[in-house]
Amino acid sequence: MRYLTAAFLSLIVWMALPGPARAGDVYRDVVYNQMPAVSDGNFTMDIYAPDEAEDMPIVIMVHGGAWTYGNKQSAIGAKQANFFTDQGFIFVSINYRLAPDHPFPAPVEDLASAIAFLYRNADDYGGDPDSMFLMGHSSGAHSVALVSVDPKYLRAEGLDLGVIKGTVPLDGASYNLVRTGERNGELPRFYRPAFGSKETVWREASPTLHVMDGRRIPPMLILYVDRPVSPERAKELAETLRDHGYDAKAVLAKNRSHKSLNKRLGANGDKFGPMIADFFRSQMN
């Protein structure tokens, strides 16, 4: 009994210790769009806001999952929301329509809709609509890159590329699908549910091939890990952006895998979360 009492007291003391900072307000399953015959669950976002948020910059996170699986909670790192709210950002994680039922361009269109919703409703959550940033992992990296370089997606929402102040794609490998498919005349099986077999679709879906002069393309910090395809695609996108006069950098995330870059982002000892937060802050007026 003595040992049980001591253990119980230790538990009480442990529970009383201060833990990591938590988001002040969490708004779950906010619906940002609606479509006939499509479940609203495809168009929901979780919004994490610091205490007494007012005019705070907004980070929109787009999860990965090969365009076919994952969601706004299961497919992002457990510490991301707390890290960014601790850093003075409102953190938003979104759901979007998934393939094969909803192939490209559905995910990019949904991201544009989410951006538009937050731009027009930022004040309701303590956010600054003029300080919006994008981040996405894997297939989500593709979506944030494409919506940042091809203006038609935001134009359909009555906005332009200028509403995005900075973009961080995390280890995407699909920035130039034409190059990926040209060797065998088809995309690897991994990509087909989202992009099919037509080169015209691959071209339309390739961020690198949409970089042009005279657009308000935001600065990009493109992180990649040491794995097949990803480094060359990241470097190609960054180089193409710079060749057209835009601010872009491709950075190797050392000692990270494709999964751990996302899962450990913002955790204790992680250096890439602070790198991203500093990059976002550097783009603020």
17 has a pLDDT exceeding 50: no
Model confidence at 2, pLDDT cuts 50, 70, 90, reads: very low
pLDDT for residue 8: 36
- pLDDT tens-digit series, residues 118-147: 999 999 999 999 999 999 999 999 999 999
| pTM of the shown model | 0.91
Q: Domain boundaries in the chain? A: 21-282
Write out 74-108 in H/E/C secondary structure. CCCCCCHHHHHHHCCCEEEEECCCCCCCCCCCHHH
Cα angle 278, 23, 80 (rounded to 5 degrees) comes to 50
Paired strand residues for 170? 137, 223
Average pLDDT, the chain: 92
Domain 21-282 of CATH type 3.40.50.1820: yes
Residues 15 and 248: their CA atoms lie apart, in Å, by 45
pLDDT band at residue 109 under the 50/70/90 scheme? very high
For the chain, the farthest-separated pair of C-alpha atoms sits apart, in whole angstroms, at: 75
pLDDT score of 183: 84
